[in-house]
Amino acid sequence: MTDYITADVLVVGTGIAGCAAALAAAREGSDVLVATKAERPEDASTDWAQGGIAVSRDDPEGFKRDILAASSNTADPGAVDVLVENANDAVEDVLLETLGIEFDTAGGEFDSPGWDYGREAAHSENRILHVNAETGSHILRPLLSYLDDHDRVQILEDTAALDLITHEGRVHGVQLDRTPDGERSRTGYPVFAGSTVLATGGIGSLYPRSTNPTGSTGDGIGMAALAGAEIADMEYVQFHPTALDETSADVAEAADSDAMETVLISEAVRGEGAHLLNGNGERFMPAIHEDAELAPRDVVARAVARGRDETGEVRLDVSTFDFAAQFPDLAERCERRGVDPADGIPVAPCEHFLCGGIAVDDRGRASLDRLFAVGECARTGVHGANRLASTSLLEGLVWGLRAGETAVGNEPEPIEAADLLDSDPDLPPRFAAEKFTRLHRVMGEHVGLRRDSDGLARAAAVLRRLKGEVDAYVRTRTARDLYELRHASVTALLIARAAAENERSVGCHYLVDEPTESTATPADD
């Protein structure tokens, strides 16, 4: 075995969930090592979160009802209780008292009328704390800075986890692609930990277009599944209804790398009163759901897709309020892409969030001993078949803290970890990218917003072959992009299989050849 290092707690990922877990473990006196592929905050999905973070205020029961209703009553009530009962305390402790986040407010203390609480789709009241429409970056960057200065936390950036190190049902750590000095390891670099917390984020890079940052390849889910961990609810992939429609004639080609990122038009814009209009200039959501534009995401996303199919386009009319004043950053991003919001913003659904993942309990414990998972790679049960807006940051914070507290107390146990093999010549530079193109095509065509049983069967067959090909290459090569492709192909196959096995349309799993059981009215069927 090569050289190795140890840590009391190892966290993989630096979004809000991973950072919260690291913070909680360090508070308990543990030495924490954080490994992340990210080289800058923008590489984490948290930094891209716009709308805000929901809190219970003085009505946890009302919050719980909204979460359950948005999920078509498929969310786990016990998990929802954990979320809503811990929401206020977690936000006050970490975001307000520890970090001093300055949420938008007219003055006042936490949970007072002074806070500018927002409202988004499927919320029955205003309960969302926010900073303009870029809440995630205002949370993550101070949190990372705080951890950088913590004497019990070490962060390894630009460092990918390739494989879990396991023995007889226990996770002992991970194989990294770099040494602690930043040198590439061609045989994997082992880190042994008392507990391992996966916080690797989402799956956006499995789809042609996503609101996730590049590199959201399902790494944690892929590694955990290959190690034998229980995975659940993978068919529930949420599509956001209002991403900027890149196919619109109004949208200019990106002039720089930042502009190339998918422009998400925050749900908070509809919360302020924006209306969706089809290509005929007609508002269509009131005929589909009693909450109109503030219906659950699955309902609005399908309605937008159908409106584009039938009339050529859908636009978000923001003329009902001062869009530039309320959302200056969004207005600037639209203008950089050649869109004048005064003419309406062309929108289309886009992959956004995975509601399933590594199955965990109310402390983030997975089915393998000493393995935890938090954030988007985890299936806590809170979201069920469809996530309520602005609950992802909250879930990451609450479960991250609980997992970090629970993960302490185990001693690292170094074992004989086999070196990863890198004996064959490097593959062509575009090899992994070309395979990803194939994966994108099958996921976009057959495992997207609207599915049918034949397409899912074809997708599963293609993805099985792709996984087999990638497995063969991984056996004798150690490269980050190749392992990302492996994790992505495993995760994509899990999604396709789960979708094919679930013959009931519910939430964001919608089968065009089956009746729906979402929160939509019959007009949405």
Spatial separation of the C-alpha atoms in residues 489 and 52, rounded to whole Å: 32
- Write down the number of H helices and E strands in the chain: 15, 16
Q: What type of residue sits at position 118?
A: G
Answer yes or no: is pLDDT of 47 > 70: yes
Answer yes or no: is pLDDT of 261 > 80: no
Catalytic one among 178, 270, 297, 387?
Answer: 297
The Cβ-side half-sphere exposure at 458, using a 13 Å CA radius, reads: 12
Give the pLDDT band (50/70/90) at residue 260: low
Give the residue, 27 or 109, on which the prediction is more confident: 27
* Domains of the chain, start order: 5-236+355-407 (3.50.50.60), 241-351 (3.90.700.10), 431-501 (1.20.58.100)
Which residues, listed in sequence order, are joined to residue 129 by a DSSP beta bridge? 53
Tell me the pLDDT tens digit for each residue of 327-373: 998 999 999 999 999 999 999 999 999 999 999 999 999 999 999 99
Q: Taking phi first (over 0 means left), then psi (-120 to 50 degrees means alpha), and beta for anything else, what does residue 378 get?
A: beta
Residue carrying structure tokens 């590489």: 43
Q: Is residue 297 among the annotated active site residues?
A: yes
Widest distance between CA atoms in the chain: 66
Helix 431-446 / helix 480-501 crossing angle, nearest 10 deg: 20
Tell me the pLDDT tens digit for each residue of 165-211: 999 999 999 999 999 999 998 889 999 999 999 999 999 999 999 99
Spatial separation of the C-alpha atoms in residues 236 and 292, rounded to whole Å: 23
Q: Residue 425, class by beta-carbon neighbours within 10 Å (0-12 exposed, 13-18 middle, 19+ buried)?
A: exposed
Determine contact, residues 452/511, Cβ cutoff 8 Å: yes
Tell me the pLDDT tens digit for each residue of 494-511: 999 999 999 999 999 999
The secondary structure of 232-270 as a DSSP string is E-TT-EEEEEEEE-TTSTTSPPPSSHHHHS--B--HHHH
Determine contact, residues 123/117, Cβ cutoff 8 Å: no
Residue carrying structure tokens 């209780």: 81
Q: What type of residue sits at position 74?
A: T
Determine contact, residues 453/501, Cβ cutoff 8 Å: no
Give the closest residue to 293 by CA, choosing from 279, 309, 278, 311: 278
Give the pLDDT band (50/70/90) at residue 2: low
- pLDDT mean across residues, the chain: 92
Q: What type of residue sits at position 372?
A: F
Answer yes or no: is pLDDT of 475 > 80: yes
Give the closest residue to 443 by CA, choosing from 208, 261, 268: 208
Which residues, listed in sequence order, are joined to residue 317 by a DSSP beta bridge? 275
Tell me the pLDDT tens digit for each residue of 274-316: 999 999 999 999 999 999 999 999 999 999 999 999 999 999 9
**Chain Cα centroid distance, residue 120:** 18
* Strands, E assignment, 128-215: 128-129, 153-156, 161-167, 170-178, 184-198
Q: Edge-to-edge, what's the strand order for the sheet holding 378-379?
A: 231-232, 357-359, 378-379
Tell me the pLDDT tens digit for each residue of 416-430: 987 788 887 888 878
